[in-house]
Chain A
Amino acid sequence: MPVNPRNPRKILVVHGVETGTDADQHQDLLIHDLVADRLGDLDISFSAELYRYEDINDQALAKYKLLIDLIIKTPVGAALANTAIDLVGDVVIALVDTGPAHEIREGLRTRIETEFAAGNPLYLVAHSLGSIYAFDVVNQLMAQPSYFDRHDRTTWPVQGLMTLGSPIGLPMFRKPRPSVTVLGNIGNYFRWRNYWDRTDPVVSGSFYGKPLETYVRAESYISASTGRGWTIRDRSVDTGKQWLLAHTAYWTLPIVGDDLVDMISS
């Protein structure tokens, strides 16, 4: 069933590396409250749900979590910190098509296709490492002939992608993903908005939170030539927080909510 543009909007939230289990993840409630607050009295029917994969992720990222625990407890932690960030990438890269990461991607893809079958316009909001999974699945779907006719948005299982605190600009993630999937010649544009704080260590790869000087993270995935059919916007924001606190501050940031209101209403 094609997407009905007038149906209620669905926001599917993809979380990042988290502590706890699936039952502990409630980022969908944060996004729902943020959008509801920033909507004010505008009348847009929407709901937010969470794609949970922490139980799978716990197995995939056991090495990373063990190392972080060690770093926190030992005096040599600072010297090992940048290695820890690298290892996060190693886990994902090593599991591009097999193992738990594959399972996570397949689960997300199935969830998106279920929403598509229901005919609701779907918007993805992905945080941290969740943005890698979301990016990969959107590009996989875009490569399938049955979806994403550029002239007809009702064939799009995902209407827009918003990433928060994503490490996608780091070389370890950039290298195996040379660019976005070409959407087609002339027609509608797929929107990807990438929000990041300059001191967020997951975005910069600097464990010490050294501020990023660049303006480009997600926009490096598209060349200067037009025609890929994506509109990618890097949005460097001030979360009002520093370092790791910045990484978790996007969920309640008003500018993120205002832009989500914009995205789901068109």
Chain B
Amino acid sequence: MNWKTVCVGIVLLLAGCATTTIYTSHFEAQNSAGQNREFVLYWNTTTSVFSGTKASPVTLLTQCSSRTIEYEERPVAGQSATQIVFRGEPGFDTSADSTELPPSGVCGRVLSADRLQNLSGPRIQFTVSCNPVSGDPFTVQDNNYLQARDIPYIVDITAMKTKDLTTDTPHRPSCTVHN
């Protein structure tokens, strides 16, 4: 057995010892334009005996919109604590009650956990506090997302083990019925 074979074997061993889980929610609500829409929320984690647990941001997709919202794990400024937040982008998001982004840049937060690796079902709570900016000539698709509101959203989560994220990750809900 040569060293190349050993290295390939180690890689396969590492990959084989990991467990990947996709967490998904499908729900209906109003978008930022007040229209009824379907939404898909998903994230995934992989746990390995060698490298612990790693996770992707929580992604929120809106029917008939190209906008992709991601709730990322970020450190709280000046503290060792973390939080899971949707960071708005200047020029693309504004606070729901003004024409500017909030000073913190935070447009939403997952309330159910402070770390993505600790987030699981059976349901999660999260907020949305911004609106998309409209009217940019480069925006060629509806860019609405989940409507901002004071009350947190609470949605049910389904967990599924997977070997293939490409195949098993849910897609943006079809827009056909709204055309």
Contact = CB atoms under 8 A, between A and B. Distances in A.
Contacts, number: 148
A37 B20 CA distance: 21
Contacts of A44: 66, 140-141
A252 B166 contact: yes
B51 A77 contact: no
A121 interface: yes
B82 to A, nearest CB: 8
Contacts of A199: 48, 51, 54
Interface string A34-77: 00011111111000000000000000000000000000111101
Interface residues of B, number: 53
Contacts of A112: none
A43 B64 CA distance: 10
A262 interface: yes
Interface string A221-241: 000000000010101111111
Nearest to A252: B166
A189 B51 contact: no
B28 interface: no
A6 B68 CA distance: 20
A169 interface: no
Contacts of A41: 174-176
A5 B61 CA distance: 24
Given A209-B51, A253-B166, A258-B59, A244 B174 contact: no
A21 to B, nearest CB: 22
Given A44-B141, A242-B15, A73 B172 contact: no
Given A72-B7, A242-B48, A255-B57, A189 B70 contact: no
Contacts of A37: 171
A254 interface: yes
A242 B14 contact: yes
Interface of A: 5-6, 37-44, 72-75, 77, 121, 153, 159, 188-189, 191, 197-199, 209-211, 215, 231, 233, 235-245, 252-255, 258-259, 261-262, 265-266
29 contacts: A39-B172, A41-B176, A43-B141, A44-B66, A44-B141, A72-B7, A74-B3, A153-B138, A189-B89, A198-B54, A199-B48, A211-B52, A215-B75, A238-B54, A239-B46, A240-B20, A240-B44, A241-B15, A245-B15, A253-B165, A255-B57, A255-B70, A255-B169, A262-B66, A265-B139, A265-B140, A266-B67, A266-B140, A266-B141
